Structure 1
Amino acid sequence: MVTYYRDREVLVTSSGIRIGGHDYRLHDFAQVWHERGRRQWGAVAGRGAIGIAILAPVVIGAFGVLLALVIDASTSTTIALAGGGILVGLAAAPLADVLLEFMDRSYDRGSRRMEIWADVRGHRTMLLRTENAQRFGQIYRALQRALDHEPAPR
């Protein structure tokens, strides 16, 4: 028996599938498909806020350097503004690393509700509903691999 996917709630093997406490044999499935729900705009807005937070220090730093070059100030003030702008801009690198990790996680979670459906012995059955895009993809691919390797019924 080959295990294609396993977590607390889902087990996909070459002999069958356990999802949501229900056991199915592979030859019980006539058809398997997925459906996507509507986009959750809160997740999209969160990604936009992260993008702005990444760019803000760079913009502020560039503004400081530009201000230092434009205004007619003493040499020490010009150097302080330009140096401060450069330091603020450079601070974006470690901040961006942390924020990009949050951005990656938001894409793993996804911005839509995903469902796996199947025609099980003539009945349309929802096998799984999740908002975690990464987990959905892993389970759906495992299910497809298991069904692809299922020998044809005799």
Structure 2
Amino acid sequence: MAALTAGWPLIGLALNDHERLPDGTLLELGPDDNIAVLRVTGAGWALSKSASDPDSMYVLTRDGVDLVAGYVALTTPGQAGELWAGLRKVQSVPDGNTRLGPPHPVTSARGAHGETGTLTRGGRTGTATVLLPPDLSYAVEITVLAGADADPRVSADAAAMVRSVAFPQDAP
């Protein structure tokens, strides 16, 4: 009886890994003052509590679409130019058939600059995006992957979340 009583909260945590996020929720990503903010777009996104850590990564899912936002520390501003090549290597680790297309310039709705390109893995397609604050001290890498049967509106909401990235410490 004691083992069951002590273990019940752990079982509950294991079964309740996903936290539903309301539309408009702000997610702060990064340690200390070096944060990026993402705005959840659309209702129904679930945050994986076990795979997410506000200092380093958020993993969200909704109706066949996965969004992973990660914090990347840079030791020098010069490393910013190496991010796409590094992202290509990292993306090929889980699946050798992963393909990351060439980068294209992108600017978020709040003025963050970076690069984006197509991403395919395991029959799923989407994008990979890297965004940087003006001081180039860190980066945010976001991948979005959707299955062929995913609702296009959910993919559009994921793209809107990527475009929502802001670096508040650089705001005037």
- Structure-1-length-normalised TM-score: 0.30
- More helix per residue: 1
- Structure-2-length-normalised TM-score: 0.27
- More strand per residue: 2
Larger Rg: 1
* Larger RCO of the pair (alpha carbons < 8 Å, separation 6+): 1
